[in-house]
Amino acid sequence: MEKRRLNNGKIKVLDSLPMLIVCIAVILALYLVCFTQIASTNAMRYMIQIFLYIAMAEMWNLLSGFTGMTSLGQQLYIGLAGYSVAVATTMLHLSLGLGMAMGIGVSILVSLVLSLLLFRMEGMYYSIATWVVAEIFEKLFLNWKFVGQGSGMTIRVEPYPRIHSICIISLTICVCAIVVVYLLLRTKVGLGLNAMRDDVGAASAVGVNVFRHKLLVCVIAAAFTAAAASIFLVNKGIVYPESGFSISWTVSLIFIVVVGGSGTIGGPIVGSVIYVFLQEILARFPGWSNIILGVITILTILFLPKGIVGTLQQKLHFDIFSAKRFSYSKRK
């Protein structure tokens, strides 16, 4: 009984003012590193990847870990964003900013339309349906002349931004994503989302507008995933159906969230850092990368189901970026 009491009286790290200051200081320090260009190009490249994966993984986590809508089709928005940027910059010679805006706009639009269709399904059906939709889009783009069919499109941004400005943009997307998820979960909406994850029927019975909540989450997730993906693909310089709409994106996101800790805000951050460095190591073993990621994911689910951050929080009784709106009162 004693231990249980301790568990419920979690120390909430971000709720204390000093920790908030530390967080802001870390973010400012990262910005400073980007602006002053003290980091090497190589280091910046890693940072960009980490920032972008954090943003995308936070969104997948928002869907799966916090709302219970396990999507296997977030690559849809990654592909759409990539093609939007390609069309905007390479064909219409617009700026990168406008290209990104277009990608985000298209993604929001598509997610709104899809939501009307997909929200009738629950659980596994929803997961499969999101995957099917992404596959349909891949086939569509494979046969669409305007976007270059199977060979895809090159993305040429003129003038090409310097690496440190890409780094700054990525960091901004990442910070915004975390702040949005944090604020979302700390408001009444977050309470509703958690209720929905645990029991949709009960949630709607107590007055949670399930449809509106799901819509909000999906649109936010689509927008941020698109934003992060457009930078990612600009860096790659090319987008084609098998890369943009590849299921590998979802494999990566699942790895990051599961290993880091599903249902925690800190999880995707830790997971992304691990993922980016692991990928570097795995690049030496071509072909094995997804296999090893899959094995690690399965082992984590079996033996560390709460992920690294979730397990640490439970063991050490703290809660970084607590997503809970109300703190547990101590039992008498």
Partner 1 sequence: MYVAQVIINGIMLGNVYALLGVGMSMILGIVKLTNLAHGEFIVLGAYLSTVLAPLLGIHPILTLLITVPLMFLLGYLLQYLLIGRAMKKGNEPALLVTFGLSVILQDGMLMFFLADSQHISLPNGMGTIQLGSLEISTLHLMLFAISLVTMAALTVFLKYTYTGKAIRATADDADVAALSGVNIGRIYAIAMGVALASAAVAGLCVGMKWTYDPSAGSSYLLIAFVVVVIGGMGSIPGTLVAGILFGLAQVIGGASYGLPISYVLLLIVLIVRPKGLFGK
User: Could you list the residues that contact partner 1 (CB under 8 A)?
Assistant: 64, 68, 70, 72, 117, 120-125, 127-129, 131-133, 135-136, 139, 247, 251, 254, 258, 287-291, 293-295, 297-298, 301-302, 305
Residue closer to partner 1, measured from CB, 35 or 125 = 125
Nearer to partner 1, 17 or 302 (CB): 302
Q: Which is nearer to partner 1, 158 or 198 (CB)?
A: 198
Minimum separation from the CB atom of position 24 to partner 1 (A): 34
Quote the CA–CA distance of 289 and 243 in Å, as a whole number: 16
Least distance to partner 1 from the beta carbon of 279, Å? 15
Minimum CB separation of residue 120 from partner 1 in Å reads 4
| Alpha carbon distance 186, 178 (integer Å) | 12
Distance CA 30, CA 127 (A): 36
Gap between the Cα atoms of 197 and 233, Å rounded? 32
Contacts of 36 (CB under 8 A, 6+ apart): none
Q: Tell me the closest approach of the beta carbon of residue 106 to partner 1, in angstroms.
A: 20
Q: Which is nearer to partner 1, 61 or 170 (CB)?
A: 61
Q: How far apart are the first and last CA of the chain?
A: 11
Residue closer to partner 1 (CB basis): 15 or 135: 135
- Which residues does residue 319 pair with via DSSP β-bridges, in sequence order? 12
Residue placing its CB nearer to partner 1 in the complex, 25 or 291: 291
Min. distance of Cβ 288 from partner 1 in angstroms? Answer: 7
**Strand, helix or coil for residue 44:** helix
Residues present in the chain in total: 332
Dist. CA 315–CA 306, nearest whole Å: 11
Cα separation, 258 vs 268, whole angstroms: 8
Residue of 238, 244, 232, 272 whose CA lies nearest to 60: 272
Residue 213 has a CB neighbour count (10 Å cut-off) of 19
Report the 3 state secondary structure along 80-107: HHHHHHHHHHHHCCCCHHHHHHHHHHHH
Pairing state between β 11-12 and 318-319: parallel
Q: Would you say 51 or 255 has its CB closer to partner 1?
A: 255
Q: Smallest distance from the beta carbon of 296 to partner 1, in angstroms?
A: 9
Please state the closest distance from residue 284 (CB atom) to partner 1, in A: 15
